[in-house]
Structure 1
Amino acid sequence: MDSHVTADSGYWYGLEGQVDAPTAVLQALRGYRSAEVATRRSTRDSMGMGETDLLALRYLLRAQSSGERVGPKDLSRMLGITTASTTSLIDRLVLSGHVRREPHPTDRRSLVIVPTTETDTEVRETLGRMHRRMLEVAEGLTPDESRVIVSFLRKMTEALDEHTAGH
């Protein structure tokens, strides 16, 4: 089986060349995860922000595209951070020009957090080519391959969720 494996991959899943099919699958999944982490780090670095900042922007851009309004409490809840941390996060994103605070259109006591047009453009330019390439790979799958992969990934997600719930 062909797999992209790092030299230290034998630690958990056996040495390359001495693996069975399930182990090769886990090695490939681990390789994908490593590549994804490196890509996210590179994106954060190129945009000059931390992980939480980038997660907040992704959430705000998705909400904006679906017509949702996001307030600081929504952001705090989604990120699982305190209101004080959320305030600091929003302050950073406002200062960097990525978001604006605007009055809520129907509740004058509230604010909404809105990503700027420049942020949308920056994120699309930074991640667009990578997303297009990933989509090309997914589009190259047969319907049967897609079903198998989706089923596998959902089962892996359930296994991780069960593990997390047990701790």
Structure 2
Amino acid sequence: MSDKSERQGYWYGLESRKQIGAVDVLNALRDYRAAEAEMRRRTRASMGMGETDLVALRYLLEAERAGRDVGPKELAVRLGVTSASMTSLVDRLVRSGYVTREPHPTDRRALILRPTPGSDQEVRSTLGDMHARMMEAAETLSSEDSAVVVEFLRRMRKAIDGIAVS
């Protein structure tokens, strides 16, 4: 086991070789998550956005590609924010030039949120290099290794989803 694992390792017992391997896996997963969080922070800073703003914009871009209209109410539910927070978020995205508000085609009281034409290109150029590097790393895996990684990550998600927070 590396010194790094010993210094920064998870706190549960290291009695067996399998546990030491598991701790190494969890440390590598934690290191990946920290690196990804830092990359997202740099991306948000370069685009002048907060985390929720970037998630909202990506959701609007995905909806547009799927041919779906999204209103503020649907976006608020998706993001888990209040209507007041949604109003502030939409105001920021409109002011920054990433989103437009358009009248709903059939409900004159409702609005449709649309990403601006340049916002898709900016997100792609900002995140494109990261996505290419991640794809390059993933493509080095054999089919068998890919299946193991996917199954492991699914089990990790299930383990985390099962945690009740009071």
Relative to the length of structure 1, the TM-score reads 0.89
* 150-159 or 99-108, which deviates more: 99-108
Q: Which amino acid aligns with 1:129?
A: D
User: How many Å apart are 1:11 and its aligned residue?
Assistant: 5.8
Equivalents in 2 of 1:126, 1:133: separation in Å?
13
Residue 9 (str. 1) matches residue 8 (str. 2): yes
User: What do you get for the CA RMSD once the two structures are aligned?
Assistant: 2.3
Deviation of 1:133 (Å): 1.0
Tell me the equivalent position of 1:108.
108
Alignment of 1:10-159 (within 5 A): 10=9, 12=11, 20-159=20-159
User: How many Å apart are 1:8 and its aligned residue?
Assistant: 4.8
Shift of 1:148: 0.5
Check the 8 A contact 2:70/2:114 in 1, yes or no: yes
Residues 136 and 48 from structure 1, CA distance in 2 versus in 1: closer, same or farther, beyond 3 angstroms?
A: same
Native 8 Å contact 2:53 2:89 kept in 1: yes
Once residues 99 and 126 of structure 1 are traced to their aligned partners in structure 2, the CA distance between those partners, rounded to angstroms, is 17
Q: Are the equivalent residues in 1 in contact too, given 2:9–2:27 (CA < 8 A)?
A: no
Q: Aligned partner of 1:157: which letter?
A: R
The count of residues paired between Structure 1 and Structure 2 equals 163
1:12 deviation in Å? 3.7
Q: Which runs of 4+ in 1 moved over 6 A?
A: none
Offset at 1:41? 0.4
Q: Contact 1:13–1:27 at 8 Å: present in 2 too?
A: no
**In structure 2, the residue corresponding to 1:102 is in which secondary structure?**
strand
| Structure 1: runs of 5 or more not aligned | none
Q: Which blocks of at least 5 consecutive residues in structure 2 are unaligned?
A: none
Aligned-pair identity (%): 58
Kept in 1, the 8 Å contact 2:9–2:23? The answer is: no
